[in-house]
Amino acid sequence: MELEQAIRTRRTHKAYGAQPLSTDELEELLELARWAPNHHLTNPWRFRVLGSHALSQLQEASEPDAAGKLTRAPTLVAASAALSGDPVQDEEDLHAVACAVYAVLLGAHARGLASYWRTPAVLRTDAGRTAVGLEGDERVLGLIHLGWPREAKRPPERWPVERYVTYLP
């Protein structure tokens, strides 16, 4: 798949087949993350693949109406940034992890997989952080849902470039 096609056709999916990704498939995708732009090469990204026990704990920590959304995809990965305490470096590292997550999403799409990047409220609670093993110096960027799509998704309408780009003299 061409890069521009991947960017334009990647969609958020909420309906997945039951088959989880294999360890090899996950490692291929997560290996792409380390190629994200990263000032000072701090490698701030941390990914945790949730097994059934971690998922169960996360569901228990969730509000009842939100717990069901955690089981949409057969494979869940928590993405976080390891922070240094330096405000400038931490901001750069958060952006680097966001780029790393997007690399995973594009890599998944290029392989015919479906994905969904969510930032559920439970990951901002102590119980949710504990469920996914987040350390005190980490900032969560969300959950990456991965699996095989059950349906095709059409791209939504997007603003024209003139609406969000300004050329300054």
Q: Which pLDDT tens digits describe the chain residue by residue (169 residues)?
A: 899 999 999 999 999 999 999 999 999 999 999 999 999 999 999 999 999 999 999 999 999 889 999 999 999 999 999 999 999 999 999 999 999 999 999 999 999 999 999 999 999 999 999 999 999 999 999 999 999 999 988 888 889 999 999 999 9
Q: Is residue 97 part of a domain?
A: yes
Strand partners of residue 80: 46, 140
Residue 46 has what pLDDT? 98
The reply to whether 71 falls in a domain is: yes
The per-residue pLDDT for 155 is: 82
CATH number at residue 98: 3.40.109.10
pLDDT at 94: 97
How many domains does the chain divide into?
1
- At residue 147, the pLDDT reads 97
Cα separation, 140 vs 53, in Å, equals 19
Measured between alpha carbons, how far is 18 from 29 in angstroms, rounded to an integer? 19
Domain containing residue 20: 3-163
What is the rounded distance in angstroms from the CA atom of residue 76 to the CA atom of residue 80?
A: 13
- 22 belongs to a structural domain: yes
Does residue 168 lie within any of the structural domains? no
Position 154 scores a pLDDT of 85
Residue 48 lies in a domain: yes
Helices and strands counted in the chain (H then E): 6, 4
Instruction: Please check whether residue 122 lies inside any domain of the structure.
Output: yes
CA separation for the pair 93, 81 (Å, rounded): 7
Q: At what angle do helices 23-33 and 87-110 cross, to 10 degrees?
A: 140
Provide the residue type at 166 as one letter. T
The model's pTM is: 0.94
Joined together, the tokens standing for residue 36 give 């994200």
